[in-house]
Amino acid sequence: ILTSAIQTNCQKKANQWRWWSSEVISSLLPVFCAYLHLSKSLQLPADLQTAAHPLNCKCEGRTLSIACILFDHEFDTVLIMLIDLHAPSGMEHIDLWCCSCTLAPSQLLSTGLFACTPVTPSLTVDLWVLNLVRALFVHMSLNITAWCEALEAFL
């Protein structure tokens, strides 16, 4: 029975990888390239205008409240915007309308935010933050346990 559960888990991961690599990433690539062009290769900050419901859309949809990890360009710091109503003042969230013709990950990426899930994201990360973390890991020493544990405890 344990072997069957392991095989099922492996199959689930393989299916998820196929879906991400063939469907999700390929659909987001043109949006990402367009954003790189508009932001002058991430030189301009993300535009967090909430997408309105398209006038010509007849789909049933809903509004998602999405937490954001953003780079504050004014102070050059990373901010965590939470959807928690009990969060300290100054915390915000993004309300995003999505339906079958206006998918959330594409809308978020077009504003410079990367959704953490491809269907109904509840968290998104600014591309500047992802670029910062990428650069950090490129230049970091091999002993990163303390940094990773601190980041995990913080998040």
Q: Give the mean model confidence (pLDDT) for residues 12-41.
A: 89
Report the Cα–Cα distance between both ends of the chain, in Å, rounded: 35
Q: What are φ and ψ of residue 48, in 5° steps?
A: -95, 35
- Span 47-60, pLDDT tens digits: 665 455 555 777 78
Collapse the DSSP code of 79 into the 3-class scheme (helix H, G, I; strand E, B; otherwise coil) and give the result: strand
pTM for this one? 0.71
pLDDT for 82 equals 41
30 band by pLDDT with thresholds 50, 70 and 90: very high
Q: Give the mean model confidence (pLDDT) for residues 66-88.
A: 57
Kindly list the distances between the CA atom of residue 3 and the CA atoms of 7, 14, 63, 107, in Å, as whole numbers in the listed order: 6, 16, 41, 41
Q: Give the mean model confidence (pLDDT) for residues 86-110.
A: 73
Do the Cβ atoms of 113 and 46 come closer than 8 Å?
yes
75 band by pLDDT with thresholds 50, 70 and 90: low
pLDDT for 95 equals 87
∠ Cα 97 73 153 (to 5°): 75
Looking up tokens 């109904």, which residue turns up? 120
The region, left, alpha or beta by phi > 0 then psi within -120 to 50, assigned to residue 73 is alpha
Q: Identify which has the larger pLDDT, 132 or 71.
A: 132
